[in-house]
Amino acid sequence: MAATFDFTSKVVLVTGGGSGIGLATATEFARAGAKVAIAGRKIDRLEAAAAEMRESTRAEVFCHAADVRDLEQCQALIEAVVGHYKRLDVLVNNAGGARHAALRNASLETWRQDIALNLDSAFFCSQAAYPHLKSAAAETGHAAVVNISSLAGNNGTMGCGAYSAAKAGLQMLTRVAAAEWGPKGVRVNAVAAGMIATPLAKANWAKVGFDATKACAAFPLRRPGEPEEVAQAVLFMASTSASYITGETLIVGGGPQIKGMIDTDD
């Protein structure tokens, strides 16, 4: 898929880029010719991911440790990337995660941490990146933000109320940013991921005895997704192939779970 898109000379920043969907996305951008920057809280994980990408793609990869729940660290992250590469063309707000808790006894800390990680972070990074994205768009006619949301933001997930609310908010942030920044050539879209078999997800499934294959029986495609399948959707949304798409959320979730009254299996 990366061969379909050309990001040569483009600079792409992926938050949460050290593992899972973030690592897959950064790798696909690198394969498509981009100069990649990855951010996360653990520098050792970032450096290992960067070494892996350099080995497999021969691309230039820059690492910067940052807790994207913190405004000042987000601002420092953007300045570090621009200081290193002298520009920024694409921002992928991928950092995220959920703490499981029923609403009846969820703590204030759980609520605030999920909102901070999944929603505040995208606002902080996008706001800091906007002047640089605007400059890139003025030069080339194209710059983009892609926010990684979740089907929890569309349908909700019991036991993940704060996460669901944050991802729903992220999709509305996407729409408002698209409306405000579109006149300057900066497109803003989201990708809502469904059940994706990242290494962390598979470890958590094994820990609690969750049968992902059985859970996917109601999906038209009958399986969990792979991180690379989300990454490919991100590349499309960031590419000039999507040049007239902004403010939208693309679902990558294995299809609609629609029930009927008769047997339609042939």
| Mode of pairing for the β-strands spanning 249-252 and 143-150 | unpaired
Per-residue model confidence (pLDDT) at position 96: 93
Please give the backbone phi and psi of residue 220, each rounded to the nearest 5 degrees, phi first: -55, -35
Is residue 36 within 8 A of residue 14, CB to CB? The reply is yes
Model confidence, pTM: 0.93
Is residue 41 within 8 A of residue 247, CB to CB? The reply is no
Q: How many residues does the chain have?
A: 266
Q: What is the per-residue pLDDT across 54-105, written as a single tens digit (0 to 9) for each? A: 999 999 999 999 999 999 999 999 999 999 999 999 999 999 998 888 999 9
Q: What is the per-residue pLDDT across 166-209, written as a single tens digit (0 to 9) for each? A: 999 999 999 999 999 999 999 999 999 988 888 888 888 888 78
* Mean pLDDT value of segment 115-125: 98
Calpha distance 246→195 (Å, rounded): 24
Active-site hit among 85, 130, 163, 244? 163
At 265, is the pLDDT very low, low, confident or very high (cuts 50, 70, 90)?
Answer: low
CATH number corresponding to 2-252 = 3.40.50.720
DSSP-based three-state secondary structure for 263: coil
85 is catalytic: no
Calpha distance 231→239 (Å, rounded): 12
| Mode of pairing for the β-strands spanning 35-40 and 61-65 | parallel
pLDDT exceeds 70 at position 263: no
Q: Which helix (H) or strand (E) holds 34?
A: none
Q: How far is CA 91 from the centre of its chain?
A: 9
CB half-sphere exposure, 141, CA atoms < 13 A: 4
